Structure 1
C-alpha cells in the first residue's frame, strides 16, 4: 500500500500537517482553559495547561472530555456558553437570507495511502464522543452517524462558543453549490439548532465532493453558512475542516 500522504490547500495555499498541529494545539489549550474556568475537574492550573506539550495537552483534553461524556453533564458544564451560542446563531439567522447567499468555506484535500471505501466505513459507523474528540478538539459531544443523523456539540470556525445542534443528511435535491462533475461522490447535510430542531435547516450546510484515485482520493470539503455569518467564522471553519478530515484519515489508517 502507498505510504500515507495528506495534502491540504486553503485559499490556494498549501497547509502542512505540522501547521494544522499548531492550530490544534492552540485550540486544545483554549478548550482546556475554558473547561477549567467553567468548573471542569482539571488538576492543572491555567499556567500549567499553557506549558503542556501538544501531545500531553491533547491527552489531557481527551481524558477531561471523557468525564463529561454524558450529554446532560456536558450541557450542565457549558450551560451559559451554549445559551449564548444559541442566541448568537438565531440572531445571525434573523439577519440572513435563508438558504440564499450562503457563505462558503472550502478546503481542497489530496490523500494517498487509503482508499475511499475504508474512510467511508469509518464515517458511516456510529460516531461517539471519543472519536469526535480525537479528530477535532472543538468537538464536545457526538451521538449518531452520517446516515441517520448526529446530535452534536461543536464550535464553528475556531470562533465563539460551542453550539448544540443536529446534523442531518440532505433531503431532496438542494445543493449549496454547482457540483464539480469530475467528483462523482457528493455528501450533503444540513444542521438544525437543537433548541428548535427546524427540519428544513436555517442555512447551515455541509457539502463534500470526493474523487477516488488510483492510490487514494481527492476531496473538496466545504461548509456553507448563513449570509450574515461573520467572516472570521467562515475562514476559521476552513481550518476546522482541515484538522477534522486530516485526523479522520489518520484514525482510519491506524484503525483499518
Structure 2
C-alpha cells in the first residue's frame, strides 16, 4: 500500500504538517477555554481543569478532551449552549450582507496534493458520512455536523468560520453551479467539483459564504483545490483563517481515510 503523503499550499505558500498541528492545538485550547467560560465542565479524568490547567494541557490530550466534550454535547446540547451567542453571530452576518456585492468577496485558496488515499475514500470522511465523531474530529471548531453533504443531503452544522469570532449555525447543500459575479470560476484543470453556499440555520438567510472544492484524480492519490469566499464587508481575518481551517479539515479527513483502509 502506498504511504500517505500530503502537501499543502495556501495562496501559494507551503504549510507543513507541523505548522498545521500548531494551529490545531491553539484552536483546541481556545475551544476549551470558551466551553469552560460557558459553564461546561472541562475535565481530565476526574480532575476538573482550571483555565491555567487548560494552558498546561498537551496537544493530544487537549484534542481528546475537546472532542469528548463536543461529542457528549450532541447537536441539541451544542445549540443550547451557544443559543445566546448565536443571536449575536447572526446579527453580525446580516450586517455584513448590507449592500452585498459578490465581486467584492474575500477569497482564499487552499491546494492539497495527496498520495495514499483516493477521492472516493476521502469524500465520505470530509463530508461527514462516517459519523458524528469523525465529523467533529476533523476540525476542533466543529460543534454540530448533521447529514452527509457528499451524499446530496442538506447538511446542518455549527462551526466557527476562519477561526475568527463565534460559531454560526448553518445549513447547506452541495451543487454544481457557481452564482454569477463571484471573483472566481471553475478551474478546467480539475475534473470534478462541488460548490456550496451556507444559509443561516434559523431563517435560511443566504450569507454568501461557502466554498468550491475541486478534485483531480491522480495515480495513487489526487489533488484538490478549495476556494473559500465570504462577503467583502466581513473581516478579512475570516477568509485568512478559513484557508487554514480547510487545510486542517481536509488533511485530517485524508489521515482518517488512510487509517480506515488499513
TM-score bucket (shorter structure): over 0.9
Q: What's 2:157 paired with?
A: 152
Contact map agreement 2:126 2:250 (CA 8 A) in 1: no
Q: What's 1:19 paired with?
A: 19
Counterpart secondary structure, 2:97: helix
Q: What's 2:81 paired with?
A: 77
Counterpart secondary structure, 1:169: coil
Counterpart secondary structure, 2:207: coil
Q: What's 2:55 paired with?
A: 50
Q: What is the aligned residue count? A: 252
Contact map agreement 1:129 1:140 (CA 8 A) in 2: no
Q: What's 2:37 paired with?
A: 37
Structure 2's unaligned 5+ residue stretches are: 43-47
Q: Distance in 2 between matches of 1:183 and 1:51?
A: 44
Aligned counterpart in structure 2 of residue 96 of structure 1, from 89, 93, 100: 100
How far off its partner does 1:66 sit? 2.0
Following TM superposition, the consecutive aligned residue runs of length 4 or more in structure 1 with deviations greater than 4 angstroms are: none
CA offsets per residue over residues 159-214 of structure 1, 9 Å max, x none?
0000000021126563742212111011111100012113xx33112101111111
Aligned counterpart in structure 1 of residue 190 of structure 2, from 178, 183, 193: 183
Counterpart secondary structure, 1:72: helix
Aligned counterpart in structure 1 of residue 144 of structure 2, from 131, 137, 141: 141
Q: Distance in 2 between matches of 1:127 and 1:139?
A: 15
Contact map agreement 2:177 2:195 (CA 8 A) in 1: no
Q: What's 1:61 paired with?
A: 66
CA offsets per residue over residues 46-74 of structure 1, 9 Å max, x none?
111111110000000011112211x2221
Counterpart secondary structure, 2:96: helix
CA offsets per residue over residues 27-53 of structure 1, 9 Å max, x none?
000000000010012121111111111
Contact map agreement 1:132 1:140 (CA 8 A) in 2: no
* Greater shift in the superposed pair: 155-164 or 127-136: 127-136
How far off its partner does 1:108 sit? 1.0
Question: With structure 2 as the length reference, what TM-score do the two structures score?
Answer: 0.91
* Greater shift in the superposed pair: 34-43 or 72-81: 72-81
CA offsets per residue over residues 84-137 of structure 1, 9 Å max, x none?
21111111112422x443221110111011111211343466354312221000
5 Å-filtered alignment, 1:96-175, equals 96-97=100-101, 99-123=102-126, 126=129, 128-146=131-149, 147-170=152-175, 172=177, 174=179
Go from structure 1 to structure 2 and tell me whether the alpha carbon gap of 1:93 and 1:173 turns closer, same or farther (over 3 Å shift). Answer: closer
Provide the alpha-carbon RMSD of the alignment: 1.7
Question: With structure 1 as the length reference, what TM-score do the two structures score?
Answer: 0.93
